[in-house]
Amino acid sequence: MKLWYVAYGSNLHRDRFLCYLRGGRPAGAARTYTGCRDPRPPAADRPVLLPGGVYFALTSLVWGGGMAFYDPDLADEVPARAYLLSSGQFCDVLAQEMRRDPGAEPDLTPAFGANGRRVLGPGRYETVLNVGELDGHPMLTFTSPHGAADAELNAPSDLYLTMLATGLRESHGWTPEQATAYLMSRPGALGTVRP
């Protein structure tokens, strides 16, 4: 089965995302990724817009500073990037985000319906959400189990912001100024983005 993994954070940056598939360490990151059992690149990728918003919270063990999370209840719009993957690849990416070994394939059936949701645990990226459909395939992302209103907001690191800004330019063709304005307007963001 094919599905779209929808990235709204550092995985907007294609080379960074490919470390989840092939394994490796993204430039500047404090973690090396195992990679997927199936390391092939995505069958396709597309820029997409999601209803809702992104906020920065908690502390990243990879980048330092706050991490990006998606909140479908925020009154905004999220520039994202959809990667067409097999369900096994999606599960392996999800496992690595949850700091688990790839290989398990949790039942994601509750996430496949309209506005579907599957909570796999209380952790940072253990809530899988259905955010729509594209070309007949479901679009899934993962986020925190709670929204921005209940989050421990925290400013992201410059390195992380730069990764996000690069991803926005790659996927949506935004200028450095557009990326900076967007990122600095997110709940939890402080400081500036280096182009």
Tokens representing residue 142 in the block: 């993962």
pLDDT over 70, % of the chain: 97
Mean pLDDT, the chain, rounded, equals 93
83: Cα within 13 Å, side-chain hemisphere = 23
pTM beyond 0.85, yes or no: yes
Mean pLDDT of 14-18: 96
Chain length of the chain: 195
- Write down all domains in the chain, each with its CATH number in brackets: 2-184 (3.10.490)
Q: How far apart are CA 148 and CA 26, in angstroms?
A: 27
- Residue with the two structure tokens 């955010």: 131
Q: How confident is the model at residue 84 (pLDDT cuts 50, 70, 90)?
A: very high
Question: Are the CB atoms for 33 and 20 separated by under 8 Å?
Answer: yes
Nearest to 125 by CA among 150, 105, 99, 149: 99
Phi/psi at 47 (5° precision): -75, 140
Q: What is the pLDDT of residue 123?
A: 85
Q: 24-38 pLDDT, tens per residue?
A: 999 888 899 999 999
pLDDT band with cut points at 50, 70 and 90 for residue 183: very high
Q: How far apart are CA 116 and CA 14, in angstroms?
A: 26
Rounded mean pLDDT, 170-185: 96
CA 164 to chain centre: 10
> What was the pLDDT predicted at 192?
43
